[in-house]
Structure formats: C-alpha cells, structure tokens
C-alpha cells in the first residue's frame, strides 16, 4: 500500500485508542469513517474531517450500512481497523453463559462479519489491509479474565489464518497487541466485575483484584492512548507492516516472562501480584 490518501473504517472510535487513531489518521490526510454505538460522543469528530457512523458491530445491518456508505462515497475501502471491543471479567463459575456469548459476539463474531463484508471490495480493487486490535491478553492470561482472554486468543489465531488466505489478493492482516492503556477499559472492567461479586465463592480474590484496580498508581502506569494512535498510523500506512505490534505498559515484560520462563514462573508472578 502506498502512502497516498486511503479510505479507512475504524470501529470503537468514540473513545480511547480508536478516537485518537481516527483523529491522527484524518490529520495525516486520510478519509476516515469512525464507527461506534455512541454516535453522540463522536459529533465533534466532524471538526477533524471525520465521518461518524453509528455502528454496533454485533448488528449485521449496521455493518452493511457502513460499508455501503463508504463504497457509495468513494468507491473503495483501503483499510479496516477492527478496534471495537470490551473486557468481560469475572469468575468462570459466576459469569452467565449469555454474558460470555455476548463477549464473543462483540470481540470476535461481529469483527468477523464486518471483515467478511469488506473483503470482496478489497479483492476487487487488488489491495487492502485488515488491522485487528487484539491485546497482550491474546498471548497471556490474568485472573478472572477467562472469557476476555478467550476472545483475544481466538482473534490471534483467526487473524493468522486470514493473513495466509488473503495474501494472494494483496490484502495484509495486522495485529495490534496493546498493554495497559489509559482508557475507559479499566472502569468498564471494574464495573462489570461488581455484578458477579455478591454471593461469589471468590470474594477474597476479588477484593484483592478490586484493591489493585482502585490504586491510583495502577491507573498512572498505563500508556497514553495517543501513543497507540501512532502505532495504528504505522500499521495502516507503512508499505510493509509487521504481523504484530506490541505497545503499552507491562506488555513486553509479561510476554517475555511467559515465553522464556514458562507458565509456572508466569503464574507465580500473577499469584504474587493478585494474591
């Protein structure tokens, strides 16, 4: 892909990394369509030349309308950034399977359905790039994150397979694996955990987890979303992108520990950290 202006669709763009990435991409001269459920929170993006579109990625109709609009406006989609997602945390024993299924719908199946919609257009134009926001959580694990980690581990394998399938059509697939980022993720995660607290057999462990989540020092350790926006920019525009971009607080150290010291040492670190 050249460095000339590209037509880019990015989901999960109402806050955090998605919002910052959309603004930076538009500033660099690209035609950006920013999708999110909370359309009211994206109204000011028009000041940056960004087109805001209402998108719940679990809605096939929303996804189809967004793709149709881009094709009607400019006749092509050069880059799809699948960034929408959330983290469902809670003890496996306590999390209802309906909640778990919704986690999979948002973080995996919605993303997959949107990707399937853009691939025919990319094949027809002879080029394209799919960028999937995974997480360091796609290669490691943490307490109470079974369903969240399940989606990110699945996304890693799904993306690798897709890369092989689309390579003959000059369509590249890239994974971004953020570490701890200063976004709403932690607030949403903590709020979600509360609903499984009462009556749980895991209260002692949850209390320790909540204490860590509420520690101001923990919040300050996160990397600014603007730093990740620059990673999205490189992944979307460089001629030869990496297969994976790892960026953000704690990501590289934790990945290093698990890879080179094994699961036993890695779990010992988690037990010491979370109690």
Average pLDDT over residues 194-200: 86
Nearest to 52 by CA among 17, 19, 85, 4: 19
Give me the residues paired with residue 10 across strands: 34, 81
Element (H, E) at 194: helix 185-194
Known catalytic residues? 148
Give me the residues paired with residue 5 across strands: none
Q: Which two tokens stand for residue 58?
A: 């679990």
pLDDT in tens, 204-250: 888 888 777 766 666 567 899 999 999 999 999 999 999 999 999 89
Provide the pLDDT for residue 190. 56
Provide the pLDDT for residue 219. 58
Provide the pLDDT for residue 196. 86
Provide the pLDDT for residue 221. 75
Q: How confident is the model at residue 189 (pLDDT cuts 50, 70, 90)?
A: low
55 in Cβ contact with 62 (< 8 Å): yes
Average pLDDT over residues 50-76: 97
Q: Which CATH number fits domain 7-274: 3.40.50.720, 2.30.110.10, 1.10.3720.10, 3.10.450.50?
A: 3.40.50.720
**Which residues have CB under 8 Å from 199's CB, separation 6+?**
none
- CA-only gyration radius of the chain, Å: 19
Percent of the chain with pLDDT strictly greater than 70: 93
Provide the pLDDT for residue 252. 95
Residue 191 has pLDDT above 90, yes or no: no
**What's the sign of the alpha-carbon dihedral 215, 216, 222, 226?**
positive
Q: Which two tokens stand for residue 63?
A: 């996804």
pTM of the predicted protein model: 0.93
Give me the residues paired with residue 245 across strands: 176
Q: How confident is the model at residue 142 (pLDDT cuts 50, 70, 90)?
A: very high
Secondary structure class of 240 (helix, strand, coil): coil
Average pLDDT over residues 117-140: 97
Average pLDDT, the chain: 92
pLDDT in tens, 97-116: 999 999 999 999 999 999 99
DSSP label of 61: H
Provide the pLDDT for residue 274. 80
pLDDT in tens, 147-164: 999 999 999 999 999 999
């Amino acid at each position: 892909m050249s460095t000339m202006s590209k037509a880019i669709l990015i989901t999960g763009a109402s806050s955090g990394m998605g919002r910052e990435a959309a603004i930076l991409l538009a500033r660099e001269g690209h035609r950006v369509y920013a999708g999110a459920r909370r359309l009211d929170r994206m109204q000011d993006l028009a000041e940056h030349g960004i087109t805001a579109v209402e998108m719940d990625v679990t809605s096939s109709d929303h996804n189809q309308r967004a793709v149709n609009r881009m094709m009607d406006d400019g006749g092509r989609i050069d880059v799809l950034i699948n960034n929408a997602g959330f983290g469902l945390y809670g003890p496996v024993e306590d999390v209802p399977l309906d909640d778990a299924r919704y986690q999979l719908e948002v973080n995996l199946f919605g993303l997959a359905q949107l990707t399937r919609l853009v691939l025919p257009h990319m094949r027809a134009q002879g080029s394209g790039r799919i960028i999937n926001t995974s997480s360091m959580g796609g290669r490691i694990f943490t307490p109470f994150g079974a369903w969240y980690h399940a989606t990110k581990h699945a996304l890693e394998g799904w993306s690798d397979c897709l890369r092989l399938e689309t390579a003959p059509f000059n369509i590249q697939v890239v994974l971004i694996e953020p570490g701890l980022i200063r976004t709403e993720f932690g607030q949403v995660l903590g709020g979600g955990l509360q609903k499984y607290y009462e009556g749980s057999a895991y209260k002692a462990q949850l209390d320790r987890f909540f204490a860590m989540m509420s520690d101001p020092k923990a919040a300050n350790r996160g990397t600014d979303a603007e730093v990740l926006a620059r990673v999205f920019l490189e992944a979307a525009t460089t001629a030869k992108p990496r297969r994976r971009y790892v960026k953000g607080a704690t990501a590289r150290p934790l990945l290093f520990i698990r890879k080179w010291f094994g699961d036993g040492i890695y779990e010992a670190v988690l037990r010491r950290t979370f109690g």
